[in-house]
Amino acid sequence: MSEKTKMTRRRFLMLAGGAAGAAALACCGLTGLAARQPAVEFIESSCGEENDVENKVLVSYASQCGSTGEVARAVGDVLCAAGAAVDVRRTEDVTDISGYRAVVVGSAVYMRRLMPEAVAFVEANRQALSQVPVAYFVVCGTLKEDTEENRRQATAFLAPLHQAVQPVDEGLFAGVMDYGKMSFLQQMITRVMGGVEGDFRDWGAIQGWAEGLPAMLLGE
C-alpha cells in the first residue's frame, strides 16, 4: 500500500469520526447547543469625517468570528489617513452604496469558501459596483504559509466575486483561528480539516496593501 493511499484512508477515518460525532450529538438532542456560537463582536466604524466627502469609501466585510473586521478597520484607517472618509460595515448591514466613490469588500474563508454574505452583497450590488472602483481582500488560514501554491488557492476563493465584478486590486492575507469564538461543532469540523489555532495575520502586509489603494480607488 502506498503512502498516498495510507494518508487518504487516514483522512477518511478522521472525516468519518467527525460525522459520527455530529450524529451522536443529534441523537442526544444536543445539536442546537453544540452549534451555538459564542458571542462575537463585529466591528463597525467610521473615520475621516473631516476629510473630503467626495472621497467617501465603503469598506464592507463578511466574517465568521470577527477577526476579518479588524482587518477591514485597519484598511479603513489607512484610507482615512490618505484623505478619504470611510465607513467600515458588515456586508449584511449595508443597504445603499450610492453615496460611495469606491468600495472595498473583504471576506473570511470558512469551509474553504467565501462567506455567503460577501458573495450575496457583490451580486446584489453588481450594477452599482461596476460603476465605481472596487477592491477585494480575503482572509484565510490557507495563507498561514505564504507560498505560491497557497496564494493561488486563496485567489481561487475570490472567483465568485470576480464573476460578478472585476476588482482594481485584491489583497490575500492569513487570518485567525480562534476556537474560543467557535461553536463546538465548528471546532470539531475545523480540527478534522486540520485547522491550526493561532493569529497568523501579517499587519505589515495588510498596511502595505492598503497604502496602495488610494491611487487605485481615488486616483491619488
The domains found in the chain, sorted by start residue, are 35-217 (3.40.50.360)
Cell triple for 53: 466627502
Distance from C-alpha of 39 to C-alpha of 36, rounded to nearest angstrom: 9
Cβ burial 30-59 (10 Å sphere, 16+ → b, else e): ebeebeeeeeeebbeeebbeebeeebbbbb
52 pLDDT higher than 60? yes
What's the Cα-to-Cα distance from 59 to each of 89, 101, 112, 200, rounded to whole Å? 6, 11, 23, 22
Cβ neighbours of 60 (radius 10 Å): 25
Cell triple for 191: 480540527
**What's the confidence (pLDDT) of residue 219?**
87
Half-sphere exposure of 5 (CA within 13 A, CB side): 2
Q: How confident is the model at residue 116 (pLDDT cuts 50, 70, 90)?
A: very high
Q: Provide the percentage of residues in the chain whose pLDDT is more than 70.
A: 71
User: Rounded to 5 degrees, what angle do the CA atoms 96, 210, 57 make?
Assistant: 20
**What's the confidence (pLDDT) of residue 54?**
86
Mean pLDDT value of segment 23-37: 42
- Please state whether the predicted TM-score (pTM) of the whole model is above 0.85: no
Cell triple for 101: 466613490
**What's the confidence (pLDDT) of residue 41?**
79
Q: Assign 171 to helix, strand or coil.
A: strand
Mean pLDDT value of segment 144-169: 95
**What's the confidence (pLDDT) of residue 176?**
78
Q: How confident is the model at residue 22 (pLDDT cuts 50, 70, 90)?
A: very low
User: Rounded to 5 degrees, what angle do the CA atoms 190, 191, 197 make?
Assistant: 85
Helices (H), 92-158: 116-124, 126-129, 148-157
**What's the confidence (pLDDT) of residue 89?**
97
Backbone angles phi, psi at 51, to 5 degrees: -85, 175
Q: How confident is the model at residue 24 (pLDDT cuts 50, 70, 90)?
A: very low
